[in-house]
Structure 1
């Protein structure tokens, strides 16, 4: 267990991982960020930043690295194309419903066995 060094600062974190049942690209990632922020009543203050190094690094690690800034912190998404594997971290300074985040993510990406951890 990690010691809470700043108990007066609200921080909620949710890590979700699983294998996507659909192919992911920059348009799908943008649509997810729009959907998850709406479902959790979080506010974006900038456009998503989506990287796909295309040819850089190991072939098995190719995919997408994405981030969207929120008024209340941010959401990071990582996707490995060859494995259709997702890793998503929602980090906020505002409380949100983990159950809604899990449900929306599982449905949006058609993930059958989504695992998650809060911290």
Structure 2
């Protein structure tokens, strides 16, 4: 909640970790443990255990590393590592408020980066507004020709005084 009246749908924290400790970007069990533990440290709840995969370092040598995901009841936490550059990106997306500094501290503890860049985004700024103008796009089958696109736009509500 922002100022008592305005509410957002969710919060997204983007962390770029540069110069991580040698070996951590390729450590499957460490990155799994990170995804498994950060959830409870931030007061979130897992939908299932984390998933983590090793990228194909032969086909994509500049992208060698790991990609992982912890599905949450509240959304997700994602990690991507790039071993050649000792670089890790972590995205925490949650529909409830969480402690940004605690998330940074957990990353520092696990990966010991030389530098962390942080971005924080409020998502769905208009999600809870009752008078949000929106439109829907429907694709209808034509008569053997290309589909026809129909746009239905909701007109803004006029509020009487």
Short-chain TM bin: 0.7 to 0.9
Given candidates 10, 13, 36, the residue that maps to 1:34 is 36
Alignment match, 1:3: none
Residue 94 of structure 1 is matched in structure 2 by: 96
Q: C-alpha root-mean-square deviation of aligned residues, in Å?
A: 1.6
Deviation at 1:75, TM superposition (A): 0.5
Q: Deviations over 1:32-68 (max 9, x none)?
A: 1122112101111112111213345321111111111
Unaligned runs of 5+ in 1: 1-6
Q: Could you tell me whether the CA contact under 8 Å between 2:57 and 2:63 is conserved in 1?
A: no
What's the TM-score once normalised by structure 2's chain length? 0.65
Normalised by the length of structure 1, the TM-score is 0.85
Poorly superposed stretches of 4+, deviation over 2 Å: 7-10, 53-58
Give the stretch that moved more between structures: 51-60 or 30-39: 51-60
Higher RCO (C-alpha 8 Å, min separation 6): 1
Q: SS where residue 36 of structure 1 aligns?
A: helix
SS of the residue 2:115 aligns to:
coil
Give 1:6-17 correspondences, 5 Å limit: 9-17=8-16
CA deviations 1:5-52 (Å, max 9, x no partner) are: xx7553010000113114232211111112211210111111211121
Q: Structure 2 stretches of 5 or more lacking a match?
A: 1-5, 122-161
Partner residue, 1:4: none
Contact 1:22 1:110 (8 Å CA) reproduced: no
Larger Rg: 2
Could you say what secondary structure the match of 1:114 adopts? strand
Q: How many residues align?
A: 113
